[in-house]
Structures are given as structure tokens and as C-alpha cells.
């Protein structure tokens, strides 16, 4: 099982110096990947922990690509209904091209009602918009020439498609992962939450002739309890989880490295 780590692209930890230090520390420790999250319009009454400061996801991943050389770069998750399909496809292809093929695109439908209001998108259509955007983006990575709004266009550069990992834990998220993605990416508190859903996902991928669908989980581990961590990691492995993204709190680069050392110790 590959191990990734979350980096805060929000709040006071999202300075260039801290984010670069965290990314390089994770790469130096031999981790599989680094992951960041996505918000673009935090309302004033829901800003605890970030102060409303969020760095744009795709821009930050491109910047982190330049700050590193090997480590995978992931979004967990990019909210597709907030964004125009063609512009987003171009940004994704650009990050993939400039990073040397290191992007892993976790996507989701979103949930925060004020954020949908701020971007002018009907929250009730978020699932449909996500499906439409994913279908279009898949078409973009499948051919140099695509069509948008009746207009043929050239989609270049067209690097190897990054894996699309579909977030969410509801049944429609599993169906979306099978229809449009290469994997499923739920956020969980423990392996028991997804044991049944992993089996459902495997059955759906097999029925669709896509048995290569992967499972990545985003979670937290009790890093101060090595035995408990190792037990949880073993449970995730037994479920067939291919990648685990571990998030943890930290105040600065030094704090990140302290927690990172614990993660490496229990997962090595």
C-alpha cells in the first residue's frame, strides 16, 4: 500500500515557504504523493482554521511540481461543478505536462451551499455537472480534436491522462467512479466505514469490465500510538486499499516534519 500525505494549502500554513518545505520533506522521506484540498469561496462565518485563506488547487499543484522532482501530486478533491469544463481540462493537462505526468486528479461534487451561491451554480445540479465535466475531460484526453459547444478545437498538449479518482461515499459516487474514473477516493475515519462499499465498488468495476479500478482513502491515523497505526494500516491493506493519504495538524514546516517522521516509522 502506497502512502501519501496531506499538505495544508489553507490558513497560515499555506505560505510558499511552508508548503515548499513540507513537499520537499515528504519527497525526501520517500512518500508516494502529496495532496491538497479545494475551496474557493469560504464565507466569513465558516472560516475557522483557515481564516478564509485558500490557495487555488490546480495553481498550487503546478507550483509544487516545480518545487519537487519525483513525488506524486494530488487533489483531494477538486470540486468540478465550480469550474468551466474546457478551462479546467486545459489546466489539468497543463499541470500533467509540466509535472512530467505526476498528477492524480481527485474530484468531487462539493457540499458547501454558500460556496455554490458565490460561484453562481445551482447546488441541486452538482452531480449532473460533475458527470458532464468528467465525460468532456475524458474525451479531451482521448483525442487531439474535441468539440465544445458545437465548436471543434484542438486539445494540445495532450499528455497521458492523469488518473481520475472520484470522491464521495454514497452509491452514486461509486457509480460515477466506475463510469468516469480510474479509482475511488473516499474520506474515512476508519476501515470499517468502507468495508462494504469496497466490495460494492469491486463488483461494479468487474461488471463494467473495468477490474483495474483502484481505491485510495483519505484519513487520519493515531500517529502517537504506533501499534494502533500499524493495525489500522493492516486493515486497510486487507481491504485492498492501494493508497492511503494521511492528514495531520501542524503549525509550520518543523511541526510537519515531526509528524511525518512518525508516519514514516509506522508505515515503513
Which grid cell sits at 227? 501499534
Q: What is the pLDDT of residues 66-116, one digit of tens each?
A: 999 999 999 999 999 999 999 999 999 999 999 999 999 999 999 999 999
Backbone angles phi, psi at 34, to 5 degrees: -120, 145
Backbone angles phi, psi at 182, to 5 degrees: -110, 5
Q: What is the pLDDT of residues 143-164, one digit of tens each?
A: 999 999 999 999 999 999 999 9
Report d(CA 85, CA 134) in Å as an integer: 8
In the structure, what pLDDT confidence band is assigned to residue 5 with cuts at 50, 70 and 90?
very high
Mean pLDDT across 46-58? 96
134 contacts 164 by C-beta, under 8 angstroms: yes
Alpha helix stretches (DSSP H) within 99-165: 113-119, 126-142
CA distances 149 to 88, 126, 153, 157, Å, are 15, 19, 10, 20
Mean pLDDT across 36-42? 97
- pLDDT > 70: what percent of the chain? 100
CATH classification (class only), 2-267: alpha beta
Report d(CA 31, CA 43) in Å as an integer: 34
pLDDT at 212: 82
Name residue 245's beta-bridge partners.
4, 218
Cell numbers 513540507 correspond to what residue?
Answer: 22
38 contacts 77 by C-beta, under 8 angstroms: yes
CA distances 33 to 6, 36, 64, 75, 229, Å, are 9, 10, 11, 10, 19
User: What is the bridge-based pairing of β-strands 164-167 and 183-185?
Assistant: parallel
Helix 195-207 and helix 171-180: axis angle, to 10°? 40
pLDDT at 260: 98
pLDDT at 266: 97
Give pTM, 2 decimals.
0.97
Residue spans per domain, the chain: 2-267
Share the mean pLDDT of the chain.
97
Q: What is the pLDDT of residues 239-250, one digit of tens each?
A: 999 999 999 999
Amino acid at each position: 500500500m502506497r502512502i501519501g500525505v496531506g499538505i495544508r494549502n489553507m490558513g497560515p500554513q499555506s505560505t510558499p515557504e511552508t508548503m515548499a518545505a513540507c513537499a520537499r520533506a515528504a519527497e525526501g522521506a520517500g512518500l508516494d504523493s502529496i495532496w491538497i484540498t479545494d475551496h474557493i469561496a469560504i464565507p466569513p462565518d465558516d472560516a475557522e482554521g483557515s481564516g478564509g485563506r485558500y490557495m487555488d488547487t490546480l495553481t498550487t499543484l503546478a507550483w509544487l511540481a516545480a518545487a519537487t522532482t519525483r513525488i506524486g501530486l494530488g487533489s483531494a478533491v477538486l470540486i468540478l461543478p465550480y469550474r468551466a469544463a474546457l478551462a479546467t481540462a486545459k489546466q489539468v493537462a497543463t499541470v500533467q505536462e509540466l509535472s512530467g505526468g505526476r498528477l492524480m486528479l481527485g474530484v468531487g461534487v462539493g457540499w458547501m451551499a454558500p460556496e455554490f451561491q458565490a460561484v453562481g451554480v445551482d447546488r441541486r445540479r452538482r452531480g449532473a455537472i460533475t458527470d458532464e465535466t468528467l465525460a468532456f475531460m475524458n474525451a479531451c484526453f482521448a483525442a487531439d480534436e474535441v468539440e465544445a459547444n458545437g465548436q471543434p478545437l484542438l486539445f494540445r498538449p495532450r499528455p497521458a491522462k492523469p488518473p481520475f479518482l472520484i470522491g464521495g461515499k454514497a452509491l452514486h459516487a461509486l457509480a460515477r467512479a466506475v463510469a468516469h474514473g480510474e479509482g475511488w477516493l473516499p474520506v474515512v475515519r476508519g476501515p470499517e466505514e468502507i468495508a462494504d462499499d469496497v466490495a460494492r465498488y469491486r463488483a461494479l468495476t468487474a461488471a463494467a469490465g473495468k477490474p483495474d479500478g483502484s481505491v485510495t482513502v483519505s484519513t487520519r491515523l493515531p500517529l502517537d500510538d504506533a501499534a494502533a497505526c500499524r493495525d489500522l494500516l493492516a486493515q486497510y491493506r486487507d481491504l485492498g486499499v492501494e493508497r492511503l493519504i494521511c492528514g495531520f495538524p501542524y503549525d509550520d514546516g518543523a511541526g510537519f516534519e515531526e509528524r511525518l517522521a512518525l508516519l514514516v516509522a509506522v508505515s515503513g
